[in-house]
A and B are shown apart, each in its own frame.
Chain A
Amino acid sequence: MLESLAQGLLTILTPTNLAYICSGLVLGIIVGAIPGLSATMAIALLVPITFYINPVSSISFLIGIYKGGIYGASIPAILINTPGAAGACATVFDGFPMTQQGKAGKALKMAIYASVLGDSFSDVVVILVAAQLAAAALKFGTAEYTSLLLFALTIIGSVSGQSILKGLIAAALGMLFSTIGMDPLTARSRFSFGQVELMGGLSLVSMFIGMFAVPEILIQLEKKERRTILSRLEKARDPDDDRCTWKDLKYCATTILRSSIIGTIIGAIPGLGQTIAAFLGYSEAKRASKHPERFGRGELRGVAAAEAANNAVDGATLIPLLTLGIPGDTITAILLGAFMIQGLVPGPTFIQDHGPVIYAILVGMVLANGLLFVIAMGGIRFFAQVPNVPVNTLFPIVFVFCVAGAFSINSSLFDVAVMLFFGLIAYFMRKLEFPIAPFVIAFFIGPMFESNLRRTLIWSKGGLGVFFTRPISLFFIVLAAVSVVWALKRMKQPG
């Protein structure tokens, strides 16, 4: 593995790759810092551009946006009490009180340290675990894969969003839409409505842009009132309140480590994501503290806990993607699309088949954390102004990019129509509180699940016993059953 990592380092250490990572990070911090824009939306919008770049540069660029975006969301959370994304909600609890106490600089710098350390911890775990897990997954046959995907679908549907029912419905809708196009076994056309464009299936990029960007534009432009709080980083009276000292880091070290572990575990489980990790990291830090009463009133450990946990999710979400081909959240679902555009199909043989590319990307992830630290620290005053960008100018501009991006993949206005169609669906889903993540992830898992299920049933001559007689398959079936029972129990609980 060390040899592969060294090879990866040599591949990634080119001026072009470093430039892509840096521009991804800067772009990510900017979009993360603008409430309403998100890393997901930015990645969806920029996937078409990566079509023309080599795999290592393009995926590193997108991962740079991912990392920058998750950290960037903490800036408005700390400065103006408005998280840039849901994952930074827990950062608000102590970040904004610190700003009110004149310690915004310290809070922002602790957010940078915690984000970088949490993310680095998670990336190292990915490097250590990915190859081993992928090797184990090579033993999977179609029955095992079917059971694993069933487990992934049930857990994604039942943990995303507030309502389990709505999560499962969203997952089933994603599965249904994934059947548009060619049957994976017989290559017959399904739901093509006589349109040549639909015979090969829906355009992934148009679907991404539609699901993530269009509803946000509609939601932002439907509001009449606009935010008036100005975001800026003022100089503190006491210079110590502008710094994150070695003493502060020592004070938060255990919290950062605990939250990094929590975030990594949460990230490796498909469907959970940054928000749950941040809240869990925060509540564990509060529980473990000798002074829990300080939390919510500007406690530095509160900022460190939330930021380390939500950033530790970033790397870990790639574990199921790289080893099993299962996206852990919406961003990795889009990354899966980006991999596929580059002709790389994640799964158990992914690391074996494309080792140099994967290790270059993995090393690039660790490198990106160091660059994130430098960029975020260096540009702290500039990034603090970013949340002031006027929404009423920004979103019409974003819409033009959406249209150009959706059109660019096949040079087809049909894809723009597909984008608007999914935008409308996602708008109503958000209004009716149906989570988007299960829809998108099931859209990807659906075809894999269908082809594995049907292949298994052809092989077993229609018998379902094969899923229960093979130990690994049985293990995942039991896990799927447990996740459904747990979800039903949760559904019965009041509130």
Chain B
Amino acid sequence: MERRRLDQIAGLGLAAFSLLVYFVLIPAQIPEDRLGLSSRFFPRLSVVIIGGLGLLLFLKARLSQGRAGQELIFRLSRAEAVRAGLVFGLMIAYLLLLHLIGFIIATPLVLGALLYYSGQRAGRVFWPTIILLPAAVFAFFEYGMKIILPRGVVF
């Protein structure tokens, strides 16, 4: 995708986000008060700036369409986006697994999946990493820093 197109999408997205925050989130999440400037003032100011500049970004990208020589091509690869999405999915899964089965069981599973996915499949690196690293991190936090890592609700 071209940078110009991406900027148009980003500009419109930011404008839409600012409308949502201004008209829905701020009234719902911040009570009105009367002490000097309202608690809503600063969030509203930020949102107006975001929305205004977002529209400006959209217009600037749109108007640059016909200008030869200024067109910078920037590609957001779909394949890369899919791979990043998968890695992020694994990160979310790790969060859920930490809640369910705890650090000491979830970490080798997710670390193994990430290593395998990123192409590190050599046994002499893979197995020691997924076994020793979680154990070392667990020992460091639990015994060194006295921080209890997630235990999980299932086990």
Contact = CB atoms under 8 A, between A and B. Distances in A.
A219 B46 contact: no
Nearest to B114: A396
A169 B57 contact: yes
A223 interface: yes
Contact of B35 (A173, A403, A446, A458): A458
Contacts of B76: 431
Given A396-B114, A413-B150, A403 B98 contact: yes
Given A219-B84, A392-B120, A404 B29 contact: no
A468 B41 CA distance: 21
A441 B60 CA distance: 26
Interface string A109-138: 000000000000000000000000000000
Nearest to A460: B36
A182 to B, nearest CB: 10
Chain A interface category by residue count: 35 or more
A221 interface: yes
A331 B11 CA distance: 28
Interface in A477-495: 494-495
Contact of A494 (B70, B83, B87, B95): B70
A393 B35 CA distance: 55
A398 B11 CA distance: 33
A226 B46 CA distance: 41
Q: What secondary structure prevails in chain B residues at the interface with A? A: helix
B127 interface: no
Given A168-B53, A190-B29, A221-B118, A397 B42 contact: no
A453 B81 CA distance: 42
A214 B84 CA distance: 11
A434 B9 CA distance: 13
A179 interface: yes
A237 interface: no
Contacts of A407: 98, 147, 149-150
* Most A Cβ at <10 Å: residue of B33, B84, B118, B145: B118
A165 B53 contact: yes
Contacts of B74: 433
B114 to A, nearest CB: 4
A303 B21 CA distance: 49
A224 to B, nearest CB: 7
B25 to A, nearest CB: 7
A132 B35 CA distance: 36
A165 B118 contact: no
A417 B83 CA distance: 20
Interface string A156-182: 000000000110110011011001000
B115 interface: yes
B95 A218 contact: no
Contact of B115 (A226, A396, A433): A396
Given A188-B33, A191-B30, A165 B56 contact: yes
A1 interface: no
Given A226-B119, A404-B137, A416-B98, A411 B114 contact: no
B42 A179 contact: yes
A393 B115 CA distance: 6
Interface in A396-450: 396-397, 399-401, 403-404, 407-408, 411, 413, 416-417, 420, 423-424, 427, 431-434, 446, 450
Most buried by B among A186, A395, A404: A404
B31 interface: yes
A221 B33 contact: no
A172 B83 contact: no
B14 A169 contact: yes
B115 A458 contact: no
A306 B48 CA distance: 40
Given A221-B118, A399-B114, A191 B25 contact: yes
Contacts of B88: 218, 420, 423-424, 427
A223 B83 CA distance: 8
Contacts of B137: 400-401, 404
B100 to A, nearest CB: 11
A9 interface: no
Given A397-B133, A413-B98, A494-B70, A390 B46 contact: no
Interface in B33-79: 33, 35-37, 39, 41-43, 45-47, 49-50, 53-54, 56-57, 60, 70, 74, 76, 79
Interface of A: 49, 52, 165-166, 168-169, 172-173, 175-176, 179, 183, 185-186, 188, 190-193, 214, 217-219, 221-224, 226, 390-393, 395-397, 399-401, 403-404, 407-408, 411, 413, 416-417, 420, 423-424, 427, 431-434, 446, 450, 453-454, 457-458, 462, 494-495
Q: Top 10 A-B pairs ranked by shortest CB distance?
A: A396-B114, A458-B36, A392-B118, A176-B46, A222-B84, A172-B49, A222-B83, A183-B39, A175-B46, A450-B42
Given A186-B35, A188-B33, A395-B114, 6 more contacts: A183-B39, A192-B29, A193-B29, A408-B141, A424-B88, A427-B88
30 contacts: A169-B49, A169-B57, A172-B46, A173-B46, A176-B21, A176-B43, A179-B42, A185-B39, A186-B33, A186-B39, A190-B43, A191-B30, A218-B84, A218-B87, A221-B83, A221-B117, A222-B84, A224-B79, A393-B125, A396-B114, A400-B133, A407-B147, A411-B148, A417-B95, A423-B88, A432-B10, A434-B10, A454-B41, A457-B37, A462-B36
